[in-house]
Structure 1
Amino acid sequence: MPDPIKVSLSTSSVYPGSTASGFETAKRLGYDGVEVMVGIDDVSADIDAIRKLSELHEIPVVSVHAPCLLVTQRVWGTDPWGKLTKSAEMAHEVGADVVVVHPPFRWQRDYARGFVEGIVDLEEETEMTFAVENMYPWRTGKREFQAYSPGWDPVIQEYAHVTVDLSHSATAGEDPVQMAKVLGDRLTHIHIADGSGSAKDEHLVPGRGTQPCADFLAHAAATGFDGHIVVEINTRKASDQTAKEVDLLESLAFTRLHACT
């Protein structure tokens, strides 16, 4: 009988709580590991601090999310390739085996021009898996803006490793189960969340939106997925700490239930 799929927690799920609180919460609520979102606070970018938090709470860091957001443009300098190299360094130092990375913004022309080939080279140089995440078109009313280059959809690119985020697939209007089928073994990493299909990247608790979260997880389990499943939800609107933790517990229970069918 195969080992059950493990479920980890992204430290972004406790925002505006600290990275340290993400580790404490993950351990106390029964998660199997942690994904560090670099850039939430200074601690998230401190390799030694992350290692100590992992040791203190006796919970592994399974993945590192590189600082690719607009608000993290100056974390670890301004060179995008330097950020990815530093992310691989952190991953190696803390025992993680995946770095999650977003495709470049269109205005990062030089970075975007050689991104697909550059990821191949970086994986060889750092001996680390870089799983490129699906994003979405930016929409305002009836207007749509393609913010990413070579594109927001990694399925159609030649990346060896891909992260599928179900909040992002909701915003993009994509079917994540079909994405998983097309990707096959290239599906390396999962951000489990939900969305209603609005233009806003919602990161709802799985099961509270319109995405086929249960079917997606069942497909992953049935096809022998052996990567990490990371809960990445938005708990900022929770009324208090208890409500926040209810959301985190519900996400954990939902994921374990449907990933084991």
Structure 2
Amino acid sequence: MAARLGYDAIEVMVGIDPLSQDVEAIKHLVDYYGIPVCAVHAPCLLITQRVWGSDPWDKLARSAEMVQVLGGDTVVVHPPFRWQRDYAEDFVEGIARLEADTNVAFGVENMYPWRASRPEVQVYVPGWNPVDHDFANVTLDLSHTSAAGDDAIAMAHVLKSRLRHVHMTDGSGSGKDEHLVPGRGNQPCAELLELLATQGFEGNVVLEINTRKALSRTSRETDLAESLAFTRFHFAAADIL
């Protein structure tokens, strides 16, 4: 679908689907469809806690190996959960060591507080916002800025060259992780794209939208095509302003 719609590349999300964990199978698909992989999202979600074992550092090392085999240059990783104490304690320094050892950028992704029975629950250590910490590379997700109430433009200005990877998507400010089609929420999607273009951004802009509510394949393709057109238009618009 991505190849047919004209996407330049894809990010592989390593999940519970065995295919997403199989580098040789993915390599075959890359060759068959002629669409490259720019990044790998490490299996660091709650539902992937047992994918590739239980050691989080092993997961990151395997993610780096996968992205190198597939020709990409970035691994996306979430901050540790608070119950991963040993991993969290050494996370900032450990990510720096991995980058030095592998020559792969580990883009630590901005997250958001979890809202449960209490107003909010801090589940990420050292925190949900990587801007506040000494990471060389950061992934900025606009659905997550929406859920957290963060300012994506301000974050981009602070990060400067540390901004390595963008998950282009949208949110309504509801506090939920919505991953809307860009332009359908209240996040500064267009403004961020134009800012990145004027700054000569050389990282990846990856569309990450939720199409689970699409009623048909055609509807899903329409959302993906609209997202791509929006992103290309606003990234190019900076050249003609």
Alignment of 1:157-196 (within 5 A): 157-196=133-172
Deviations 1:138-162 (Å, cap 9, x if unpaired)?
1136610001000000001000000
| 2:221 is the alignment partner of 1:233 | no
Alignment of 1:72-83 (within 5 A): 72-83=48-59
Counterpart of 1:3 in structure 2 is: none
In 2: Cα distance, 1:97 partner to 1:213 partner: 24
The 8 Å contact of residues 149 and 175 in structure 2, kept in 1 or not, is answered as no
Deviations 1:84-124 (Å, cap 9, x if unpaired)?
00000001111010000000000100000000000000111
The 8 Å contact of residues 161 and 186 in structure 1, kept in 2 or not, is answered as yes
Q: Larger relative contact order (C-alpha < 8 A, sep ≥ 6)?
A: 1
2:62 aligned to which of 79, 83, 86 = 86
Counterpart of 2:81 in structure 1 is: 105
Q: What secondary structure, in the 3-state scheme, does the structure 1 residue paired with 2:38 have?
A: strand
Q: TM (normalized to structure 2)?
A: 0.97
Moved over 4 A (4+): none
In 1: Cα distance, 2:61 partner to 2:116 partner: 34
Residue 121 of structure 1 aligns with an amino acid whose one-letter code is: R
Deviations 1:24-77 (Å, cap 9, x if unpaired)?
x11011000010000151010001011111001011000000001100111111
| 2:107 is the alignment partner of 1:131 | yes
Residue 51 of structure 1 aligns with an amino acid whose one-letter code is: K
The 8 Å contact of residues 140 and 199 in structure 1, kept in 2 or not, is answered as no
Q: CA deviation at 1:199?
A: 2.1
Which runs of 5 or more residues in structure 2 are unaligned?
A: none
1:215 aligned to which of 180, 191, 198 = 191
| 2:138 is the alignment partner of 1:156 | no
The 8 Å contact of residues 16 and 51 in structure 2, kept in 1 or not, is answered as no
Which runs of 5 or more residues in structure 1 are unaligned?
A: 1-24
